[in-house]
Structure 1
Amino acid sequence: MTITVKAPAKINLVLDVTGKRPDGYHDVHMVMTTVDLSDRLELSLLEGGEIRMNAQHAYVPNDERNLAYKAAAVLKERFQVKEGVEIFLEKHIPVAAGLAGGSSDAAATLRGLNELWKLGLSLEELAEIGAEVGSDVPFCVMGGTAIATSRGEVLEDLPAPPPCWVVLAKPSIGVSTADVYGALDLKTAQHPDVPKMIEAIKGQDFKGICEGLGNILESVTLPMHPEVQQIKDFMASCGAEGVLMSGSGPTVFALTEHENRAHRLYNGLRGFCNEVYVVRLIGEKH
Structure 2
Amino acid sequence: MTYCVAARLSAGMVFLSDSRTNAGLDHISTFRKMMVYEKAGDRFMVLLSAGNLSISQSVREILQVEKVDNGDGPPITIWNAKSMFDAVRVLGAAIRRVQEQDGAALEANGIDFNAHMIFGGQIAGEAMRLFMVYSAGNFIEATRETCYFQIGESKYGKPILDRVLTPLTPLDEAAKCALVSMDSSLKSNLSVGLPLDLVVYQEGRLQSEQIVCIDEHNPYFRMIRGTWGQRLREVFEGIDAPQWDAGTAALHPLLTESPRFEAMRKIHNLSEKVV
Whether TM-score is above 0.5 comes out as: no
Output the TM-score relative to the length of structure 2: 0.30
Structure in which a larger fraction of residues adopt strand: 1
Q: Could you say which structure has the higher helix fraction?
A: 1
Larger radius of gyration: 2
